[in-house]
Structure 1
């Protein structure tokens, strides 16, 4: 058996995938010249730019319709800037853009049967569901779209690294991963993936270096997951080591979850406890062998949610052939394929319900209950599909519970104000909105719920803050209002004002949208921004309005017709000067 050293690293993508070369030398395992960050919900575009430039950042690039950004920084300053931003309350996270390897350790010419298909009960599951109507995004080295076992179900993807439509496989790894999840079933040739009627969306996140090896960086994982969510994929698979440890990837996983999807990642092949922190944003999968033992190469730890077969997985090879592969690179797509079966068996299930069904029906291995080696157990597709088909979605009438934890009532604030919110629900909180007086200024879709509120958007004096929490069923609850005293320095300008305000739609950017979209409007002016009136129009119809420097609106795009839609933000100051900003998006 020949050991494969196809190290995959990830590169950056902006709203449309954007590549900027990032040199890496032998001394470091992260991209030089950039870092990954996410500002808190509500931070205006002006304040965001001011904050990262004041610390030495140069330029920010947004990843799709998410709130994740890549900041270009001077070479050598990456660690220092990350450490500064980590302690900045106006940022959800800041981290290095780490280099990660693929999670395949061996490529074996083994010609055994697909033992794993029977082990997880896939044939029994196929009697009820085969994954039809579900798209699985394969974030990898590309996929051989002409392979006879993959071609029937391929859909358009994207080369995230090169910003092209070329998704051919550079290293062979992606083709093998895609076949494990969704090689066409019952077609008389080759092998069957777990979810043989699902669509395959190839997202190439790698490039081949001059040394013949493939490389990528953690930023492309986040970009690829965001792309998958924006383009309708319900399952995304990332077979790269250390992906579960990236906060940017976790944030992208939460973004996919907000669209009703699930992210699966491999658990690494280091045969050790990785020590990663568990996250509900993704499902990390360890590997088992044909005897339901942990594979000799598989990593483990508290972050592992599920286990699945990953030893000697017979699957599709680049160029039209077949072969045996080993690694958590393959346990992850096997579990992802099972999720697609569950989704197709009962399309009414939420992402959390699908996840819980996979956990509750898994074959409990090792210590009773969840453990560090197998998570909740080895995936059981037959039991999961059976439970999904028997699950009736009961109307949820329980409202969330929400309160503002900071700032405290009657406190005095100025400038950018960190606002933290506690929100819980019997099923799950879908989003939390922050209202300042009667205007929704920001929306956050993942815990811990927090905001960066620009208090200059209101006049000095007592102001009421309210947090409004929504669950997936549409139940809504408001916190007890918290009154704070705004005390910003003011300057009186007596000259005639003929300067119009500046306004922009910071989210979404031009491109594809899907599911619920948080529309964010940001404005600035030469006069106090508390005097601005903001309006948001969708296809010429007023959807939201308010006073101040920011405005937020939850746009349910699934209620709109497919095609192009126009978002127009209008800002008007006290003197009557106005300006507008328009973004065209496609559903």
Structure 2
């Protein structure tokens, strides 16, 4: 600390690109893959999976001495694995600043005062995925809600490094309280989600892909509608992208910092995240700001904000341009709660001040955020009813082909706004639901009798419009077994959701198996005793809109019956 200005700590050598978590990797199976089938696949690399929240992402623990890179390479070759990646270590995106007293010039630059006439962010919760937040800071206490520590798997959200407190204040420090600073969305709530730890080797805070993806999933399940991640390399992670898409499916938006390398990044544009670069007082790009085609927006990267211990400091970096843009997103969301995440993003992009080359460019994306323009656009925006249905087509397997065992199914789905989910039906039974592009499934063909089976994929958009693919008929040919007398009931499990809190639309997925094969199994899904779905085979899926449930605890029950009439059930409880 020098004259009220934050100076970065002296650092040893930075971690290399090979610095990743030992003993674990990240894996996403295709939708519909039975739990036992996934366990069998993971056993091939001696791994054991742990489901991340209510998503389909899994952290896979590996035995000591096994090569994480080799495990990832092997799993990537499996057609039933959507992606596998190393659990890489990522660092915060702040940079040393110039030794002068900071001020909140960034608020005037984005026209905050005019924006506040229409919205201050009330009713929106912003998840700060960072090093924690100072829970006693007077400028943050009024806006804090309960959070989570995904690094230690507990509720300790105290700030381990100071970075998260500064980020939180940038987004939503309390306003109109006669002291300190004002966050851009000063009436929004702050949800501290600690994803990082203090690394004494580098004297700095670091997180992992797994802690960020886990924290983001938790935030989405617990009501956050805006999330900020001010760590480098986030946009290149398949696991974090999947978690960001999961939050978007719950009606939220994820903002991430571009980085502070001062070089061009080759990461491809990411439709699940809003990537923010850093601009200065003259609307030029800071020399240390990372840029590239993945940049969506720019925002001021020099802020005067809250600091750990109850004080205030100046901080610089894309770590702070990102929460500033996130706060503007919260203003827009609060101004017009009927807007979809895609509509909010379109407003932020269309109202941004176009800098650099005309249109979207690699330095500023669509331009520097304009809070006043964005809020005004939200207030004057009439809710446009989206009546255009998505289109879907099954690209594999092809009609007339023969399948057996667990068969990969690929679907192409398009929409004028965006595809929210795709359901796969076999002979009229919904067997799986995918919410992450590319939309792909693993269909357990043992769930139907040998012979012809008809597949249909149905794509849904956020407005509820549905478009079904042309039917594809294939030939199922599995080996048959003869059981003289069947007195053994089938086994049935609710794979998703897991017991606990849920929000938005939740995919209920069940798996069933039987000693006489799963082709003769009939499954039913009940919610609070009411039948919601039924079908035949090894898997069954139902999309539950939890917004229609009363606040409180609800019961999900799966019932399976085999061809001999043996019955079993499984029950879990969820909380809205």
State the TM-score, normalized to the length of structure 2: 0.96
* Match in the other structure for 2:3: none
Aligned pair 1:230/2:221, yes or no? yes
Structure 1 window deviating more from structure 2 (122-131 vs 206-215): it is: 206-215
What is the SS of the residue equivalent to 1:333? helix
CA contact (8 A) 2:103 2:314 kept: no
CA contact (8 A) 2:185 2:327 kept: yes
1: CA distance, partners of 2:133 / 2:323: 14
* Match in the other structure for 1:454: 444
* Match in the other structure for 1:544: 533
Q: Deviations over 1:427-452 (max 9, x none)?
A: 22221100000100000112211111
* Match in the other structure for 2:285: 294
2: CA distance, partners of 1:416 / 1:240: 38
Q: 1:6 to 1:412 in 2, by over 3 A?
A: farther
By how many angstroms is 1:215 displaced? 3.2
Q: 1:442 to 1:6 in 2, by over 3 A?
A: farther
Q: Find 2:117's aligned residue among 115, 120, 127.
A: 127
Aligned pair 1:563/2:552, yes or no? yes
CA contact (8 A) 2:92 2:206 kept: no
What is the SS of the residue equivalent to 1:216? strand
1: CA distance, partners of 2:346 / 2:281: 25
Alignment map for 1:470-549 (pairs within 5 Å): 470-494=460-484, 496-549=485-538
* Match in the other structure for 1:192: 182
Q: Find 1:280's aligned residue among 271, 275, 282.
A: 271
Q: 1:27 to 1:444 in 2, by over 3 A?
A: closer
By how many angstroms is 1:51 displaced? 1.2
Alignment map for 1:63-142 (pairs within 5 Å): 63-74=52-63, 75-106=65-96, 110-142=100-132
* Match in the other structure for 1:3: 8
Unaligned runs of 5+ in 2: 1-5
2: CA distance, partners of 1:84 / 1:6: 36
By how many angstroms is 1:186 displaced? 1.4
Aligned pair 1:422/2:409, yes or no? no
By how many angstroms is 1:164 displaced? 2.0
What is the SS of the residue equivalent to 2:572? strand
By how many angstroms is 1:216 displaced? 2.2
By how many angstroms is 1:584 displaced? 0.8
* Match in the other structure for 1:370: 360
What is the SS of the residue equivalent to 1:452? strand
By how many angstroms is 1:320 displaced? 0.6
- Number of corresponding residues: 568
Q: Deviations over 1:194-217 (max 9, x none)?
A: 100000000111223455643321
Q: Find 2:349's aligned residue among 347, 359, 365.
A: 359
CA contact (8 A) 1:131 1:198 kept: yes
Q: Find 2:260's aligned residue among 257, 265, 269.
A: 269
Unaligned runs of 5+ in 1: 10-24
CA contact (8 A) 1:57 1:71 kept: no
By how many angstroms is 1:86 displaced? 1.8
What is the SS of the residue equivalent to 1:575? coil
Runs of 4+ in structure 1 deviating by more than 2 angstroms, as ranges, are: 1-7, 25-28, 106-112, 207-216
What is the SS of the residue equivalent to 1:363? coil
Q: 1:406 to 1:340 in 2, by over 3 A?
A: same
2: CA distance, partners of 1:362 / 1:86: 39
By how many angstroms is 1:474 displaced? 1.6
By how many angstroms is 1:127 displaced? 0.4
2: CA distance, partners of 1:121 / 1:422: 42
Q: Deviations over 1:367-416 (max 9, x none)?
A: 11111111111111111111111111122221111111111111111111
Q: 1:529 to 1:76 in 2, by over 3 A?
A: same
Structure 1 window deviating more from structure 2 (148-157 vs 83-92): it is: 83-92
What is the SS of the residue equivalent to 1:304? coil
Alignment map for 1:324-473 (pairs within 5 Å): 324-473=314-463
What is the SS of the residue equivalent to 2:91? coil
What is the SS of the residue equivalent to 2:86? strand
What is the SS of the residue equivalent to 1:584? strand
What is the SS of the residue equivalent to 1:2? coil
By how many angstroms is 1:113 displaced? 1.7
By how many angstroms is 1:88 displaced? 2.0
What is the SS of the residue equivalent to 1:223? helix
Q: Deviations over 1:526-567 (max 9, x none)?
A: 111011111111111111111000000000000000111111
Q: Deviations over 1:101-136 (max 9, x none)?
A: 000122667433201000011111000000000000
Q: Find 1:576's aligned residue among 562, 565, 568.
A: 565
Aligned pair 1:164/2:154, yes or no? yes
CA contact (8 A) 1:109 1:323 kept: no
What is the SS of the residue equivalent to 1:219? helix
* Match in the other structure for 1:14: none
2: CA distance, partners of 1:522 / 1:5: 53
Aligned pair 1:57/2:62, yes or no? no
* Match in the other structure for 1:243: 234
* Match in the other structure for 2:244: 253
